Chains A and B, each alone.
Chain A
Amino acid sequence: MDGLNYLTVAYLGMIAGIAIWTWTVVTRSKSIEARLAAVEASVGVSASDADAIAKKVDE
């Protein structure tokens, strides 16, 4: 294999790594946001209560 082939393999691997990592993080964020909204809606937690819960988590 010559240097250019090594370079291609390296960059394709890194692009795939960055793409998979970013895709995983963004979809995880969207998914958990949707789950949280659904759970809060199902138990009737209002936006202000949700903020209070979020504050409690931070304490």
Chain B
Amino acid sequence: MAARSAEALLGVGFLGIMATLYLGFQWAPSVSIDAFESPAAQRIFYWHVPAAWAAFIAFAVLFAGSAMWFFKRSPLGWRLHVAGAEAGLACGLITVWSGCVWGAAEWGTPWDWTDVRLNTFGLLTLLALFLVLGRQSQPDGVETRDTFSTFGLYGFILVPLTYIATRIWEIRHPGPVIGTGDDSGSLAGDMAIVLLLGALSFTVFILGHILMSMRITGLEQRLEQVQHQIDGGN
């Protein structure tokens, strides 16, 4: 049942993501050719921004799971931690990749080491990579879980920092175009609709992945338990 729900969410999310891509190319208006060095490449934004949004959801799940494990020793918390780290890594890599390609087209360089948002988001993705690879290379146990949960807890500070980075230090990464709280948002209505569809689709897709990942971790724990019983444990 849980597997079916996760697969359904993955399917619906994937269809929405593909619809976003189609609408982004066929329906959304293009940007002013005077405002951008590479106006065509701006359409990367229809997946780049929703992927970053989905990454933030994944990092929030990672934080909640880490806290639940660290303070309550909750197995559900550990499954959330694992799922959040995997989803955060995947969405983080999609965001970084699309951002680098856009940067190469628009700025002439894929990365700017002086830009705060680029670097804090890059660090978040590296943190997720460390958590995913670290868990795979270490034997599962309370100490291992405590260590990784600590990183999940402290690493979350990068999420609000990344969010506010372009509001405080707009160096190279463009500032917010929606939800600015004033009239400075410059996004056309049709663009906003496609972007909203993308954000909803990525949210559904990431929830499907998180449920699927939690189920896999649960099955792995159950398999270990059965094997432990076969080996003569209780």
Considering only residues 6-25 of chain A, those with a C-beta below 8 Å from chain B are: 6-7, 9-11, 13-14, 17-18, 21-22, 25
Pick the residue among A9, A11, A28 that contacts B21 (CB under 8 A): A11
**Chain A neighbourhood of B156, CB < 8 A:** none
Q: Within 8 Å CB of A21, what residues of B?
A: 90, 209
**B216 pairs with A29, CB closer than 8 A:** yes
For the complex, give the distance between the alpha carbons of A34 and B56 in Å.
33
Which residues on A sit within 8 Å (CB–CB) of B41?
A: 3-4, 6-7, 10
Q: How far is the CA of A47 from the CA of B65 in the complex (A)?
A: 29
Would you call A57 and B101 a contact (CB within 8 A)?
Answer: no
Residues of A within 8 A of B17 (CB): 18
Chain A, residue nearest B213 (CB):
A25
Establish whether residues A17 and B212, one from each chain, have CB atoms under 8 Å apart when the complex forms. no
Return chain A residues, CB-CB under 8 Å to B47: 11, 14
What residues on A are CB-neighbors of B170 within 8 Å?
Answer: none
Known: A3-B39, A3-B105, A43-B226. A10 touches B44 (CB 8 A): yes
**B residues within 8 A CB of A18?**
14, 17, 90, 94
> Which of B75, B94, B219, B230 has a CB less than 8 Å from the CB of A58?
B75
B51 at the interface (CB under 8 A from A): yes
In this assembly, does B218 line the interface, its C-beta being within 8 Å of a C-beta of chain A?
Answer: yes
Q: Is B97 an interface residue when CB atoms closer than 8 A count as contact?
A: yes
Q: How far is the CB of B32 from chain A (nearest CB, A)?
A: 14
**Smallest CB–CB gap between A5 and chain B, Å?**
9
Q: Which of A56, A57, A58 has the most CB of B within 10 A?
A: A57
- Give chain B interface residues in 76-116, CB to chain A under 8 Å: 76, 86, 90, 93-94, 97-98, 101-102, 104-105
CB atoms of A22 and B219 under 8 A apart: no
Q: Could you tell me if A35 and B90 are in contact, using CB atoms closer than 8 angstroms?
A: no
Taking a contact as CB atoms under 8 Å apart, the answer to whether A32 and B105 are in contact is: no
* B104 contacts A53, C-beta separation under 8 Å: no
Query: Do A43 and B229 contact each other (CB < 8 Å), given the known contacts A7-B43, A11-B21?
Result: yes
Complex Cα spacing A43 to B227, Å: 10
| Of listed A14, A43, A58, residue having the most chain B CB within 10 A | A14
A32 lies within 8 A of B220 (CB): yes
Chain B residues positioned under 8 Å from A50 (CB to CB): 222
Q: How far is the CB of B52 from chain A (nearest CB, A)?
A: 12
Bound complex: CA of A33 vs CA of B6, how far in Å? 15
Residue B223 is within 8 A (CB to CB) of chain A in the complex: yes
Binding site for A on B (CB under 8 A): 3, 7, 10, 14, 17, 21, 38-44, 47, 51, 75-76, 86, 90, 93-94, 97-98, 101-102, 104-105, 209, 212-213, 215-216, 218-223, 225-227, 229-230
**CB pairs A–B below 8 angstroms (6 shown):** A3-B41, A13-B98, A18-B17, A21-B209, A39-B226, A53-B229
